[in-house]
């Protein structure tokens, strides 16, 4: 990492421009002004024209600095690849180094505030974002273990649904079928015990809330409110559609899909917590693309599964089920849905062109 300063200064700055003090209309454009349009080939940009005018005849020098930055970055990568992973991937070593670095940061922050806190001409930096990031990073190990515990509890529900008998087994079986095979939920007998009727919605609700709390380090109630608000709106609408009929089978499908989506989220949080999710997993293009694809498929699966159970268990026709879905209601044009089953060319079996 000792080479990183040179790589940054040569790669993210245009040396012949950054070496000069430039003023325009009384303002001082920053040395990294060019980075806002780094991916736009253009010849009429005021920013790029200004940079070219300031650099003068040192264009080749500026381009060569970019080449040097690439060489340095490759050298850094090769040095890391040639290093024995056990020397820097040790969890205990990482934790000790993190604590030492955190202590050094706190000392430097406090010294900076003491020196510049009362200086109106050169005020101190605002460390709020850095402090929040540090506190959340400290919570990552606990969040990772919480995600693993939630995955373990979901596994117990699956095992209870497959092999269990007695208390909670009907609810677990309904949730398992609701997540993977909703067309079989309608044939399930309605449980006679109150425990199964409560567990079929209580288990998914607890896992849903807990998984979102883990994702946000238990520190973002606004995110939790928005997420749960969307789920609550959906469940209220489909519950009103069912009316006075027993909602057990409906909750089995909605809860099963909620567990399925929570498993996907918890699986990526179980490694290193939310920090690892954003810092390592989300920044990997292939992993992010696969995750988004599966997550979107699970999102759509909710509407498909609910439409199936409304049709098979509660007697709603497909057109009525689509109309009852609060999320899909406005998605398809009215003219694209025909009453009954389509039979003409270009028409699917559900009547949607």
Confidence of residue 139 (pLDDT cuts 50, 70, 90): very high
- pLDDT tens sequence across 262-303: 999 999 999 989 998 988 888 888 999 999 999 999 999 999
Residues 152 and 301 in one domain: yes
Q: Which of 83, 104, 127 is the endpoint of a domain?
A: 83
Residue 196 lies in domain: 140-316
What's the N-to-C CA distance of the chain in angstroms?
57
Q: Is residue 353 part of a domain?
A: no
- Look at residue 343 and tell me whether its pLDDT is greater than 70: no
Tell me: do 213 and 147 sit in the same domain: yes
Residues 64 and 151 grouped into a single domain: no
Residue 143 has pLDDT above 70, yes or no: yes
Q: Highest mean pLDDT range out of 30-44, 48-62, 239-253?
A: 239-253
49 or 212, which is more confident?
A: 212
Question: b/e map of 94-123 (b: 16 or more CB within 10 Å)?
Answer: eeeeeeeeeeeeeeebeeeeeeeeeeeeee
pLDDT class for 349, splitting at 50, 70, 90? very low
Q: How far apart are CA 174 and CA 251, in angstroms?
A: 9
pLDDT mean over 320-342: 45
Q: Is residue 126 part of a domain?
A: no
Let me know whether 12 and 155 are in one domain: no
pLDDT for position 336: 40
Residues 145 and 51 in one domain: no
149/295 same-domain check: yes
> Rounded CA gap, 172 and 195, in Å?
11
8: pLDDT strictly greater than 80: yes
Q: Establish if 125 belongs to a structural domain.
A: no
Instruction: Output the pLDDT for position 347.
Output: 40
Across residues 323-351, what is the average pLDDT? 43
Q: Is residue 213 part of a domain?
A: yes
pLDDT at 156 over 90: yes
pLDDT band at 346 (very low <50, low <70, confident <90, very high): very low
Same domain, 74 and 147: no
Structural domains in the chain (count):
2
Name the range with the highest mean pLDDT among 20-29, 80-89, 279-288, 344-353.
279-288
Same domain, 50 and 192: no
Residue that terminates a domain, selected from 83, 115, 131: 83
Confidence band, pLDDT 50/70/90 cuts, at residue 327: low
Distance CA 309, CA 99 (A): 53
Is 215's pLDDT higher than 70? yes
pLDDT of 333 reads: 42
Model pLDDT for residues 160-193, shown as the tens digit of each residue: 999 988 899 999 999 999 999 999 999 999 998 9
Q: Looking at residue 205, what is its pLDDT?
A: 96
Residues 159 and 58 in one domain: no
CA distance 205 to 127: 37
153 and 259 both lie in a single domain = yes
Res 176: pLDDT = 96
Phi and psi at residue 328, to the nearest 5°: -90, -10
pLDDT at 98: 81
> Is residue 326 in some structural domain?
no
Nearest residue to 202 (alpha-carbon basis) of 171, 165, 173, 227: 171
- Ranked by mean pLDDT, which of 74-83, 117-126, 300-309, 310-319 comes out on top? 300-309
- In the structure, what pLDDT confidence band is assigned to residue 35 with cuts at 50, 70 and 90? low
Question: Which residue in 313, 309, 317, 303 sits closest to 350, CA to CA?
Answer: 317
The arithmetic mean of pLDDT across residues 93-97, rounded, is 76
pTM above 0.75, yes or no: no
Question: Does residue 53 or residue 158 have the better pLDDT?
Answer: 158
Banded pLDDT at 339 (limits 50, 70, 90): very low
Identify the pLDDT of residue 266. Answer: 96
68 domain-assigned: yes
């Amino acid at each position: 990492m000792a080479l990183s300063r040179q790589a940054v200064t040569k790669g993210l700055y245009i040396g012949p421009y950054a070496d000069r003090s430039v003023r325009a209309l009384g303002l001082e454009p920053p040395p990294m002004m060019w980075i806002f349009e780094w991916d736009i080939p253009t010849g009429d940009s005021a920013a790029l024209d200004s940079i070219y005018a300031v650099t003068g005849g040192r264009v080749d020098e500026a381009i060569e600095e970019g080449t040097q930055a690439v060489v340095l970055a490759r050298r850094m990568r090769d040095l890391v690849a040639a290093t024995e992973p056990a020397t820097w991937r040790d969890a205990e070593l990482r934790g000790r180094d993190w604590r030492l670095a955190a202590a050094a940061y706190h000392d430097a922050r406090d010294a900076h505030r003491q020196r510049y806190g009362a200086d109106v001409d050169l005020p101190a930096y605002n460390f709020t974002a850095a402090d929040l990031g540090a506190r959340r990073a400290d919570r990552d190990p606990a969040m990772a273990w919480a995600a693993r515990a939630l995955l373990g509890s979901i596994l117990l529900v699956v095992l209870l649904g497959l092999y269990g008998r007695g208390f909670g087994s009907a609810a677990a079986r309904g949730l398992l079928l609701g997540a993977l095979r909703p067309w079989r939920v309608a044939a399930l007998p309605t449980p006679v015990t109150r425990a199964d009727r409560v567990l079929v919605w209580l288990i998914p609700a607890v896992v849903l809330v807990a998984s979102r709390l883990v994702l946000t380090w238990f520190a973002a109630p606004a995110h939790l409110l928005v997420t749960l608000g969307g789920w609550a709106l959906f469940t209220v609408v489909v519950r009103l559609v069912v009316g006075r009929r027993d909602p057990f089978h409906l909750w089995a499908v909605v809860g099963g899909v909620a567990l399925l989506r929570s498993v996907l989220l918890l699986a990526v949080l179980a490694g290193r917590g939310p920090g690892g999710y954003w810092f390592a997993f989300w920044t990997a293009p292939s992993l992010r693309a696969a995750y988004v694809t599966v997550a979107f498929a699970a999102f759509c699966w909710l509407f498909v599964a609910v439409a199936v159970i409304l049709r098979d268990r509660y007697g709603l026709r497909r057109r009525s089920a689509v109309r009852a879905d609060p999320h899909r209601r406005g998605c398809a044009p009215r003219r694209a849905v025909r009453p009954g089953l389509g039979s003409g060319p270009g028409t699917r079996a559900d009547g949607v062109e």
